[in-house]
Structure 1
C-alpha cells in the first residue's frame, strides 16, 4: 500500500494530503484543529480528534501525526490478534481488503487496538484493564457501544460465581460512563438526546430504514446506469452486500459454536447496518470483526506441515489479498469512494 502511495506521488504528482487526507480524514483533522465547528461533525466521537490534537502539539502536522498513530495502532491491534488467535489470525487481518483504513487517520486502527486488547484482557479475566481499554474504544467511535454489550455477554457467560460476575459488570460501568458523557455533552450543545443520530442521518443518510428497503436501496446503487460518472461505486456497493453476507455467516458460526459474546459483537453491527438507508461502510467494519479473522487465520495454520497443494492455495490467497488490498488503497488515495 505504501508503494501504491509512492507510485501516485511520482506519476500523478500528488501530495501527502491528497493521498492520506481524503473523506472522513478531513473531518477528523477539522475537529482536532477547530472543535465541533460544523454541527454535522458531532457524528464523529471525540476520542480520535482529541488524540490528534494532543499529539500534534509536537509541531508536526495533524495529518502526519494521525498517519503515524494509525500505523502504530495497527501494530498493537495485530499484536492483540496474535494473542487471541496466533500469527495466522494477525496476518489475515493485516491482509484485509480494506486495510488501507488502518494506515490513514481513520478510527479503525486505534479502535481495533483498544477493542482487541480489551477482549484479550477480558478473556484472560483481567476485567479492570479490559474496562479501561473498552472505555478508550468507546471514546473513539460508536462501535464501542456494541463492544460494551458484547463484553456484558462475555462477563455473564464466563465461568465464575455470581459475585464475580457482578464485579465484572461493575467494571463495565466505566465505558458506559464514557458514552453517557458524550451524549450529555451533545445534549448541552444541542438540547437533544438524539443529536448524534440526527447528525448521522443528515450527513450520511443513516436514518432508520427497514432492512428490506435498505437492501433494495443498495441493489439500486449498483444497478446498470446508476452513478455512471462514478463506475467504482457499483463495485464498492456490491462488496458491501458481500461483507453483510460474511457478517451473517460469522454470526451464525459463532452461535453454532456457542461463542455467544462473539456472536453478539458481530451480529449487533450487522443489525445496525441493515437498518441504515443502504449498506454503507460495512467493508470497513469488517476490520473490527476479530472472530472472522480468527476463522480465516485457521486456513494458514500449520503451514509448514500442510500438503503442498494446500500450501499453494494459501500462497495464491495471499497474492490475491495483496492485489485487492492495493486496488482498494488506490481507490482511497485517488479520492474515489472506498466505503
Structure 2
C-alpha cells in the first residue's frame, strides 16, 4: 500500500484505517453467508442483526435514555432541514439560531413550510462566534429551537448547549457527533449526516424523543414522516445497508478508543496542535473563529492575501496534504480534524505550517 494522504477533507472525510481494512476483509463474503452485505436482503436475519447492533452501539456510546428512537434515514442533513418543519411546524413558528452557512440553509428550508424566528445570531461579526447564550430570545410558544452544533464552513462550535426550557431543542450534529460526550436528554431531536464522524455518505442518523413525534399532520408524505420510520425500524424501504454497516464498524472503533471521553481527549490534542501553530505565528496565520467559539473539528484560518493562500494549498498538496482549501463560499483555509484523522497527520500539518511560514514570512 502506498503512503496514505494526510486527509483533512471536510466531508466525505477520513475513515479509520482499521475500519477500512476490516471492511475490505469482509467485502466479498460477510460472516460465512456466501455473499457481500451489499448483496443480501435488508429483511434477512444477518443484515437485521447488524442494523440493530448499530442502534445498540449508538445507545451505549451516547448514553441514550429510554423514550428515544434511533432512525437511519437517507438524504443527508439537507433533507432534515425540510423534514423537521414538515413534521413539527403545524402552523406554529420555528425558532433558529443563526450561526453560519448550515444554519442559514436550515432556516431557508423552514420558511417554505411556515414561520421562522431568529432566536440569536452571530451574523454581525461574520459568524466568527457562537452567540452568547444570554442573548437567546426563544418565544415560549415556539414549535422548537433549532441549533447547528458545529459550523463546518466557518469553524465555530457550541461549547455549551442552551436550555430551551419547555421548547423542544433540535440540534444538527452532522460535523461533531461522537466527537465528545453528549447529554442526549437535553434534546427532543438530534440528527447527523454520517460522512464526517460516523462513516461514509449515504445514511443520516436521527435520534428523536417519543413524545415529540406524536402529533404529525397526516398530510405529510409517508416517506417524510418520522413515525413511518419509527414503526418500521428504519426498514420501511430499502435502507443504505452498506453505509449502516460501516457506521457499525466506526462505532466499534470509537468504543475501542475509550468511548466519547477518550475520543474527546484525542480531538483536543489534535486540534490543539494546529491552533497552536496559528496562535504562535505572530499574525502570519489568523484564525477565523473567535477563540471561545473555536471548533475541534473544523479549524479555519487565513493568510495575508489570497495569493499566499493559493501558494499554501499548492505547497501542501505537494507534501501529501488533502482538503486544506476553505469552502468555496468563504475562501481561506480549513483543516477538518475529525475523529479518524490521526494525531500524526495533525502534527505533520503543524510542522508544515511552521516551515511554510519560515520560507514565506
Q: What TM-score results when the alignment is normalised by the length of structure 2?
A: 0.27
Higher strand share: 2
